[in-house]
């Protein structure tokens, strides 16, 4: 790939970026509810074990076992490998007259400007949302704050012109 201009950026995502993308696209209310119910039951189990251990000291074995399960589960979740499919999200993101473009592995995807929603930004990412999904661009991928500002301005200019027509 050639060096990016002010309206493009080369993106290379890591695990934290994929988590940010997951938060951006987390539209499955049932999945969030199941996760909340799971942790509610897990908390209730802990409360029951603590109260039971007051009356019966042998219950501390169950508490230790539950704690061990929790630690193993959290370590497995944290050390989860980045799925190979994330490589399809890496590549060059560009603002073109035809639309928001992503080029990677010889494949070009173009999202029409009329489908792109207003941008979101945090201190770590620029969020590009469209049609219930989106892309995330880590701030570290920009060569400078000026480059990021020019890229965001180019995107906003195209999104604004698509909204006004």
Q: Tell whether pTM > 0.85.
A: no
Domain ranges of the chain: 8-25+84-164, 29-78
92 pLDDT more than 90:
yes
Mean pLDDT for all residues in the chain: 80
Burial of 28 (0-12, 13-18, 19+ CB in 10 A): exposed
At 13-40, the pLDDT tens digits run 887 887 787 777 665 445 556 667 877 8
Q: What is the CATH number of domain 8-25+84-164?
A: 2.30.29
Beta-bridged to residue 39, according to DSSP, are none
> Which strands, in side-by-side order, build the sheet including 107-111?
8-11, 91-96, 99-104, 107-111
Torsion of CA 162, 121, 140, 8, to 10 degrees: 0
């Amino acid at each position: 790939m050639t060096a990016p201009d002010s309206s493009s950026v080369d993106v290379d995502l890591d695990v934290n970026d994929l988590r940010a993308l997951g938060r951006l696209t987390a539209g499955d209310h049932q999945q969030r509810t199941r996760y909340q119910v799971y942790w509610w039951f897990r908390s209730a189990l802990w409360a029951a074990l603590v109260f039971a251990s007051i009356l019966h000291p042998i219950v501390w074995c169950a508490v230790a076992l539950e704690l061990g399960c929790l630690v193993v589960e959290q370590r497995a979740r944290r050390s989860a490998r980045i799925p190979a499919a994330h490589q399809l999200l890496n590549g060059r993101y560009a603002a073109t007259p035809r639309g928001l473009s992503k080029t990677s592995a010889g494949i070009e995807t173009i999202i029409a400007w009329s489908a792109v929603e207003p941008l979101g930004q945090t201190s770590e990412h620029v969020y590009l949302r469209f049609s219930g999904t989106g892309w995330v661009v880590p701030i570290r991928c920009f060569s400078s704050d000026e480059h990021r500002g020019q890229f965001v301005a180019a995107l906003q200019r195209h999104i604004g012109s698509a909204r006004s027509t």
